[in-house]
Structure 1
Amino acid sequence: MKRVGTSIILRNTRNEVLLFLRDDKPEIPYPNHWDLPGGHVEKGETPEACIAREMMEEIETDVSACRRHGIYDFPDRIEYLFILDFDADAKNIPLHEGQRLRWFSEEKIPWKKIAYGFDLVLQDFFAGRQRWDRGGEFQD
């Protein structure tokens, strides 16, 4: 059975997305790569509860107003993607995991340094596509 994860696209009014730079430790997956905030769903936890818990733990941010944007069936996991309009200076957001936070426009994303296949998720987001169900069908 695949593990289940959640992630969130935090989007500001300039249509930029907030990514965090993973730690540069060789023992972790994707060291020194950019990543979407999120985490693993714990036993008995809903994806909505997971993303709310993870964002309080990682960036001390209430995302209870977020909405589900899609579900991705990756080879290693099922990923529930959420989205929230969010404006804040990245320097003022507490970060408890990773090296730093940064806002990226589509043109400035370091596409070859994105962790966990989230390049596909971000490409879908900027193209205005949503992916639903395990079949990966697009709905516009």
Structure 2
Amino acid sequence: MTTSFESGPSVASALIHNDRGEYLLHLRDNIPGIVEPGAWSLLGGGREPGDHSLTETIHRELREEAGLEIPALEPFAVEEAVNGELPAFSVQIFVGRWDGDPSMLTLTEGIMLHWFRPDILPRLRIAPSIVSLVRRHARTISCP
């Protein structure tokens, strides 16, 4: 069965957490024309013609954006994203665990990566939907 780009999500994002109950967030560039400029967000991006699945998309995006390899990424949720004047679009959220140091990664997009505990997120410039998503996921895992 072939999946067309028009059916279902065409964007994939990664909800990455560590053993300390923190979540890896990406500070996006503050430039016009991108989704959520200058805000904290999840790593990810759009499906490209060479991607056979959204699983391939998220692995490619993590490699391209941060040189990050997370072998075990599992689908977690499909969320609707809103981007100002553009129509809403669906995003496949994948979840994975990584305990590395984000300052050691080579970031090719955005400003920086940083670990945050869920209780800190409302103090950041971040989409409320990401705060909700992180809290929902945090309730499913046991952390210190």
Q: CA deviation at 1:34?
A: 0.1
Q: Which runs of 5+ in 2 are unaligned?
A: 1-5, 83-87
**Cα 1:41/1:83, change in 2 over 3 Å:** same
- Are the aligned partners of 2:122 and 2:131 in contact in 1 as well (CA < 8 Å)? no
Aligned CA RMSD, in angstroms, stands at 2.3
Deviation string for 1:85-118 (max 9, x for gaps)? 1011121111111001100001112456214832
Letter in 2 for 1:23: D
Q: Which runs of 5+ in 1 are unaligned?
A: 130-140
C-alpha distance in 1, partners of 2:77/2:69?
A: 20
- Are the aligned partners of 1:30 and 1:116 in contact in 2 as well (CA < 8 Å)? no
C-alpha distance in 2, partners of 1:3/1:86?
A: 25
Q: List, as ranges, runs of 4+ consecutive aligned residues in structure 1 with deviation greater than 6 Å.
A: none
Structure 2 residue aligned with 1:91:
103
- Are the aligned partners of 2:76 and 2:93 in contact in 1 as well (CA < 8 Å)? yes
Structure 2 residue aligned with 1:29:
35
Structure 1 residue aligned with 2:129:
117
Q: CA deviation at 1:62?
A: 1.6
TM-score by length of 1: 0.79
1:109 is paired with a residue of what secondary structure? helix
Structure 2 residue aligned with 1:20:
26
Structure 2 residue aligned with 1:138:
none
Corresponding pairs, count? 129
Structure 1 residue aligned with 2:69:
62
Q: Which of 92, 112, 137 does residue 100 from structure 1 map onto?
A: 112
TM-score by length of 2: 0.77
Percent identity of the aligned residues?
28
C-alpha distance in 1, partners of 2:123/2:11?
A: 21
Structure 2 residue aligned with 1:39:
45
- Are the aligned partners of 1:21 and 1:101 in contact in 2 as well (CA < 8 Å)? yes
- Are the aligned partners of 1:20 and 1:34 in contact in 2 as well (CA < 8 Å)? yes
C-alpha distance in 1, partners of 2:80/2:36?
A: 19
Letter in 2 for 1:123: R
